[in-house]
């Protein structure tokens, strides 16, 4: 049996590498890789604990540390970071990364197969994202999901103006001074233009960004070793976002991270004052003392608008 170095001086990365090697033969052949490996899960729990201890309640005034459970629904295997309750397992365990009540305790739950085994930064974001969801209702920052969803983001116009907003946010995160202020104004303009085309979309987008965007912002900032790395990660998420087949469910992830990081620079205490009824873009507009660029159509030319529209029209056709 392989022995793992649990000494204080052993890095988590080293322990993960050792476990990954030891599990290689198990992952080949008979499907045993589907089972939750307690040793590897223990390392994951350590990683999550180190992340939330490092954050220490700085962002939201409350520790993110708490009960975690990793499950594989197919095999029924499970691993927890504290004793499991006597209550029956929730039927949804192992089917989605989420936060839910089990017994009298709220848990962050993870699907074993969905944990990035070889991508430590992505794994850290996943852990923190769901740890935030666990405490989100206590912060008063969970908005009950309504029947209204941002389905307009599956239309050509919805996708077009959202992608322009994302491009402007990339420029804002990658610049400073006058250039950054102009890029923020452009992002606000593209957002306003899109929402003007689809009545009610401002609220449907806002709800998703509060529920999921705040979680992704938290994950981005806590998982990064520095504010600079968080900024670069937010940019990378925006650049990868258009690769998704649909933006309806994924809108909030890159947008929430981007607006949150920009708010950090303009209003460092914004996480202590935000309310469930707030809009992240509006908060940034106030913090930066800016208004949206009045001519969104003209501003689009600064971000490859004509070529982007052509691409979206071809996709629609």
**183-231 pLDDT per residue, tens:** 999 999 999 999 999 999 999 999 999 999 999 999 999 999 999 999 9
Per the CB < 8 A criterion, the answer to whether 304 and 312 are in contact is: no
Which residues touch 6 (CB under 8 Å, ≥6 apart)?
15
Asked whether the predicted pLDDT for residue 15 surpasses 60, the reply is no
> Which pTM was predicted?
0.89
* Residue 166 pLDDT class (50, 70, 90 cuts): very high
Asked whether the predicted pLDDT for residue 138 surpasses 70, the reply is yes
pLDDT at residue number 20: 41
Q: What number is the average pLDDT over the span 267-296? A: 97
Is the dihedral angle over the CA atoms 251, 255, 257, 260 positive or is it negative?
negative
Q: Which stretch of 11-20, 107-116, 123-132, 269-278 has the lowest confidence by average pLDDT?
A: 11-20
Q: Which of 97, 52, 90 has the alpha carbon at shortest distance from 70?
A: 97
* Residue 169 pLDDT class (50, 70, 90 cuts): very high
Distance in angstroms (rounded) separating the CA atoms of residues 67 and 80? 7
**48-98 pLDDT per residue, tens:** 999 999 999 999 999 999 999 999 999 999 999 999 999 999 999 999 999
Distance in angstroms (rounded) separating the CA atoms of residues 141 and 136? 6
pLDDT at residue number 146: 65
């Amino acid at each position: 049996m392989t022995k793992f170095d649990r000494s204080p001086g052993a890095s988590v990365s080293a322990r993960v590498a050792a476990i990954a090697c030891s599990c290689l033969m198990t992952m080949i052949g008979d499907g045993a890789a589907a089972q939750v490996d307690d040793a590897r899960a223990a390392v994951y729990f350590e990683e999550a604990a180190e992340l939330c201890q490092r954050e220490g309640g700085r962002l939201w005034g409350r520790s993110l540390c708490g009960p975690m459970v990793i499950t594989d629904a197919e095999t029924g295997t499970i691993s927890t970071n504290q004793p499991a309750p006597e209550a029956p397992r929730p039927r949804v365990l192992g089917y989605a990364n989420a936060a839910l009540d089990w017994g009298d305790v709220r848990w962050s739950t993870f699907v074993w197969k969905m944990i990035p085994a070889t991508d430590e930064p992505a794994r850290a974001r996943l852990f923190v994202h769901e740890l935030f969801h666990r405490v989100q209702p206590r912060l008063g920052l969970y908005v009950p999901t309504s029947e209204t969803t941002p389905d307009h983001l599956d239309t050509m116009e919805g996708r077009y103006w959202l992608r322009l907003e994302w491009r402007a946010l990339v420029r804002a995160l990658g610049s400073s001074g006058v250039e950054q202020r102009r890029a923020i104004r452009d992002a606000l303009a593209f957002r306003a233009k899109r929402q003007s085309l689809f009545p009610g979309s401002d609220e449907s987008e806002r709800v998703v960004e509060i529920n999921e965007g705040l979680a992704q912002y938290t994950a981005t900032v806590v998982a990064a070793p520095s504010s600079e790395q968080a900024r670069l990660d937010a940019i990378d998420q925006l650049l990868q976002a258009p690769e998704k087949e649909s933006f309806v469910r994924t809108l909030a992830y890159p947008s929430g991270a981007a607006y949150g990081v920009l708010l950090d620079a303009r209003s460092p205490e914004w996480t202590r004052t935000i309310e469930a009824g707030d809009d992240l873009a509006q908060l940034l507009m106030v913090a930066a003392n800016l208004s949206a660029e009045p001519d969104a159509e003209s501003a689009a030319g600064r971000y490859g608008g004509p070529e982007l529209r052509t691409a979206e029209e071809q996709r629609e056709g």
